[in-house]
Amino acid sequence: MLSDSSIVFLKRLLDTPGPSGFEGAPARVWRTEASEFATVRADVIGNSLATVEGTATDGPTIMLAGHIDEIGVIVTYVDEQGFVYFEPIGGWDPQVLVAQRMRFVGKNGNVLGVIGKKPIHLMKPEEREKASKITDLWVDVGAKTKAEALELLSIGDAGVIDANLIELPNHRIVSRSIDDRIGAFVVLEALRRYATNPGAARVVAAATAQEEIGYAGGGARVAAQSLDVHMAIAVDVTFATDHPGVEKKEHGEHNIGGGPVLTRGSVVSPVVFRLLRDTAERLKMPYSVHAAGRNTSTDADGIHLTRNGVATALLSIPNRYMHSPNEMVSLEDLDRAAELIAETCRMVTAETDFTDR
C-alpha cells in the first residue's frame, strides 16, 4: 500500500484549491514533493515537470501525464446588495451546486460563502418541477453592499466547493478534486518508485494544466511538444460502474478496488497498451479494459498528435460520483496504478519499437 508520507502528501494535494487556469497553489505543493527525488521545473502554461534520468544515454523519453486542475467557478458580477454571480470552470451539473459552501481565492486570502437559491416554500408549483440553472444561483459572502463584497473579491476570482478530503472504510477516500488531481498524484508516485530502480528510459512526470477546459489538449499538448517524448501514459479517472443506476452494457465493468482501467482503441497506441497489459498480468495485478471507439476526452487526445506522433496509452482510476463535491476512489487502485506504471517504464529501452508493425 501507499506509504504514510505519500498519503499525507495526497491529502494536502487534494485539499488545495486549484481550478483550471488557477492551478498555481496545488502545483507548488506537487513540485515541493517532487523535488525530494527528481529534477523539477514549471512552464508558462502552468505545467509542472519532474524528471528522473534513465540508465542509458540513448534511452527514450516517457511522459506520465496527470492533470492537476479541478472544476470550479469564476466571479462574473456583484450586485448592489453584495450577492456574487458566477460562471462554471469546467463541466458542472448545477444541481450539485445548490446550497454548497464555497471557497474563493480572494485578493487578501480565502473568502468563504454559500450558494443561494430561492427557497422551495417561495416557488410556484411549476418552478418546483424545473432543474436549477447556474443563472438561478448566487453566492452570499455575508456582505451588505457591492462595495463591501468587492473589498473581498474581484471579478475573475476563482473558487471551489469548500469540502476537504474524508476517509471511508475499505481504503476509500472522498474529495471534490479527485478528477484529476488524483492523476497528478499517481504519476508522481509512479516516478518516485521508478527513481528507486530506474530503467533505460528518461521518465518525466507532468502535472498538467487546464485539462477541464482544454479542448485542444490543454497543458498536456504543450508538455509533450516541449519534451519531444517517444511514449506517454495519461492518467485520469473513469466512471466506476459498480453503483446503482449505471448500465454496464453501455459503460463496461469497472469496480472501485478492482485495479486500474486500461483503455483500448481510439487514440491509444496498441504497443503501449500491450506493455501495460502484459506487465499487469506478469505482476498478477487486477485490471479492467475500457473500449474507446473515438476520442477519450482526456489528455491522451492532445498528446498523441504532437510532433511526429507519440505512442500514448490511457490508464484510469475508477471514480464514483464524478464532477461532484464527493468523488470517491480506492487507495488500493492508486497503489496498483503507480506500481504498474513504474514497472512498465522499466520495460522500455532504446530497442522498443513503438510502431505497431
Question: Where are the chain's structural domains?
Answer: 4-70+176-346, 72-161
Among 288, 305, 38, CA closest to 187: 38
> How far from the centroid of its chain's Cα atoms is residue 195's Cα?
23
CATH class of 72-161: mainly beta
User: Is the dihedral angle over the CA atoms 157, 69, 216, 292 positive or is it negative?
Assistant: negative
Active site residue 211: yes
Which stretches within 35-145 are classed as H helix? 125-128
* Other residues' Cβ atoms within 10 Å of the Cβ of residue 196: 9
User: Is the dihedral angle over the CA atoms 4, 6, 9, 15 positive or is it negative?
Assistant: negative
For the chain, 357 residues long, give each residue's pLDDT as a single digit of tens: 899 999 999 999 999 999 999 999 999 999 999 999 999 999 999 999 999 999 999 999 999 999 999 999 999 999 999 999 999 999 999 999 999 999 999 989 999 999 998 788 877 887 788 888 999 999 999 999 999 999 999 999 999 999 999 999 999 999 999 999 999 999 999 999 999 999 999 999 999 999 999 766 789 999 999 999 999 999 999 999 999 988 888 888 899 999 999 999 989 999 999 999 999 999 999 999 999 998 999 999 999 999 999 999 999 999 999 999 999 999 999 999 999 999 999 999 999 999 999
211, 212, 327, 339: the catalytic one is: 211
This prediction has a pTM of: 0.95
Do residues 234 and 65 touch, judged by C-beta distance below 8 A? yes
∠ Cα 89 265 243 (to 5°)? 60
Which stretches within the chain are classed as H helix? 4-15, 24-34, 125-128, 146-152, 178-196, 218-227, 248-251, 270-282, 299-303, 331-346
Q: Can you name the residues that pair with 240 across neighbouring β-strands? A: none
| Residue where the block lists cell 473579491 | 153
- Strands of the chain (E only): list them: 39-42, 48-52, 61-67, 72-78, 84-89, 101-106, 109-116, 138-140, 158-161, 166-168, 172-175, 202-208, 231-239, 261-264, 288-291, 311-319, 327-330
Put residue 33 in one of left, alpha, beta given phi > 0 → left and psi -120 to 50 → alpha: alpha
| Residue where the block lists cell 497503489 | 335
∠ Cα 22 27 33 (to 5°)? 165
Among 314, 333, 191, 313, CA closest to 260: 333
Interstrand relation of 172-175 and 166-168 (parallel, antiparallel or unpaired): antiparallel
Phi, psi torsion values for 6, nearest 5 degrees:
-65, -35
Which stretches within 102-159 are classed as H helix? 125-128, 146-152
Do residues 201 and 349 touch, judged by C-beta distance below 8 A? yes
**16's grid cell:** 488545495
pLDDT of residue 71: 96
Do residues 59 and 230 touch, judged by C-beta distance below 8 A? no
Q: Which CATH superfamily is domain 4-70+176-346 in?
A: Zn peptidases (3.40.630.10)
Phi, psi torsion values for 173, nearest 5 degrees:
-125, 155
Phi, psi torsion values for 71, nearest 5 degrees:
-75, 155
Amino acid at residue number 317? I
